Amino acid sequence: MREVIVDVGSYRYPVFIDRNALSFFPEWVKNDKSANRILLVTDEMVWKDLGPVISKRIDETGLPWSVVKLMPGEVSKGWDGLRKVIDRCVIDFLDKRSFVVSFGGGVVGDVAGLASALYFRGTKFVQIPTTLLSQIDSSIGGKFSINHDEGKNLVGVVRQPQGVFCDISLLDQLPERQWRNGLAEMFKASIIRDANLFDRLSKWPAELKGAISDEELLNVIMRCVQIKAAVVGEDEHEYGVRRHLYFGHTFGHAFELYAMRPETFLHGEAVSLGMQVAIEVSRRLGHLPDAEADRALKALKGQFPFRLPENFSMERLYRAIIHDKKVEGDKIRFILLRKIGVAFDELVSLSWIRDNLESLVSVIK
Ligand SMILES: NC(=O)c1ccc[n+]([C@@H]2O[C@H](COP(=O)([O-])OP(=O)(O)OC[C@H]3O[C@@H](n4cnc5c(N)ncnc54)[C@H](O)[C@@H]3O)[C@@H](O)[C@H]2O)c1
């Protein structure tokens, strides 16, 4: 079993990574003698595919348990989804000794984590991520948020879980599109911190599902988790280096917002385009040498052959960018590259972005 410790100074917790990491879950829970019950939070689709797998493991803990099922997808990441989980905590008389366990992708993790932080001013919380994106990114670092009508992830907390179980057998039924969605965030981790990982991911095949050996997948997941753990360990509350995890997200979020229909772009797909623009911004501002920028763009274009919709309006795109939470006055804090594996942040003038918008975006056309 691979294990990474997330250490935020005041608190440490394990991330277990294995093909059968889940089999270790019952014993791990039993070690907590004060635990009194479990509320499992999942979504309807995950429950349909993987309900028996998780039910068996929770039964083995010997604790009484119940389950709350959310609708699949971003639609559940709002007040109604949060309320549904908290209502269930109340009905089942959970208290501080109880475990809320998230079993699903980033949406389930965010809603369950926020509910667990708010109810009783905090229950115990465990993440069992079931998408590639959630195994390498969203389940690590303790950020939990829901969306508000006016923006994504506007309501949330930072609060670390007790543990995370990344079990790659749960990914066996994950659709190919979700694999590539996760790959985008893996590229992001590599491009900000690890050039070797970037080269390794660049060689991954066009069809991922079933094509990556367990050994390769486990090593790469572990490396991504290590990168996220190191960044979060240095800056849990995002006053500094944690912002680097937003590489590609300024334009990525703007593309998501612009498209407005979640099925147009998954989060990682939009970020894969946003990273290409961020590479071009780094080059134009004189931080990233041409050869390095070309190499990075070639790798990303090879892995993410997405394009923008026809009739793309630069005006609407710019409006989405100026609503980014990293805007500070007439500038935006942009995550840039010096070379592959080395990120930094800098305030970039919004007027420069507006004046160069069309040519910057032409890099993904
Ligand atoms: N908290 C953080 O630090 C953080 C970081 C990155 C992203 N996020 C959030 O994560 C969310 C995206 O997460 P996601 O990409 O995991 O999406 P998701 O949770 O919506 O899951 C994607 C889809 O895959 C299905 N699914 C999940 N596991 C499956 C499995 N094993 N087999 C088959 N289908 C499965 C789900 O039912 C869903 O329809 C976004 O809301 C994003 O804002 C949070």
226 inside domain: no
220 inside domain: no
146 inside domain: yes
**Do 46 and 137 fall into the same domain?**
yes
Domain end among 174, 195, 217: 174
- Map residue 206 onto helix, strand or coil: coil
**Do 313 and 356 fall into the same domain?**
yes
**Do 166 and 194 fall into the same domain?**
no
The answer to whether the beta carbons of residues 118 and 143 sit under 8 Å apart is no
Number of domains in the chain: 2
**Do 122 and 39 fall into the same domain?**
yes
Would you say the CB of residue 108 lies under 6 angstroms from ligand 1?
Answer: yes
**Do 158 and 271 fall into the same domain?**
no
The answer to whether the beta carbons of residues 129 and 139 sit under 8 Å apart is yes
**Do 60 and 155 fall into the same domain?**
yes
Å from CA of 263 to ligand 1 middle = 13
**Do 168 and 31 fall into the same domain?**
yes
**Do 327 and 261 fall into the same domain?**
yes
pLDDT digits (tens, 9 = 90+) for 219-270: 999 999 999 999 999 999 999 999 999 999 999 988 887 665 656 788 899 9
Å from CA of 105 to ligand 1 middle = 3
Q: Are strands 124-129 and 163-167 parallel, antiparallel or unpaired?
A: parallel
**Do 27 and 124 fall into the same domain?**
yes
Look over the chain and give the mean of its residue pLDDT values, rounded to a whole number. 95
303 inside domain: yes
**Do 280 and 166 fall into the same domain?**
no
Strand partners of residue 43: 70
Would you say the CB of residue 147 lies under 6 angstroms from ligand 1?
Answer: no
Domain with 45 in it: 2-174
124 inside domain: yes
Å from CA of 156 to ligand 1 middle = 17
**Do 334 and 275 fall into the same domain?**
yes
* pLDDT value for 325: 84
Cα dihedral 321, 326, 332, 333 sign = negative
Strand partners of residue 12: 7
Say which CATH number the domain at 187 has: 1.20.1090.10
* pLDDT value for 261: 61
Tokens of 259: 């498209």
357 inside domain: yes
Å from CA of 178 to ligand 1 middle = 8
* pLDDT value for 349: 97
**Do 293 and 323 fall into the same domain?**
yes
Would you say the CB of residue 17 lies under 6 angstroms from ligand 1?
Answer: no
Mean pLDDT of successive 10-residue segments in the chain (365 residues)? Answer: 96 97 98 98 98 98 98 95 98 98 98 98 98 98 91 91 98 96 97 98 94 97 98 95 96 79 80 97 98 97 85 85 89 97 97 95 89
With the most atoms of ligand 1 within 8 angstroms of its CB, the residue from 6, 75, 131, 227 to mutate is 131
- The 10 Å CB-count burial string (b at 16+, else e) for 102-141 is bbbbbbbbbbbbbbbbbbeeebbbbbbbbbbbbbbbbbbb
Å from CA of 176 to ligand 1 middle = 14
Would you say the CB of residue 160 lies under 6 angstroms from ligand 1?
Answer: no
229 inside domain: no
234 inside domain: no
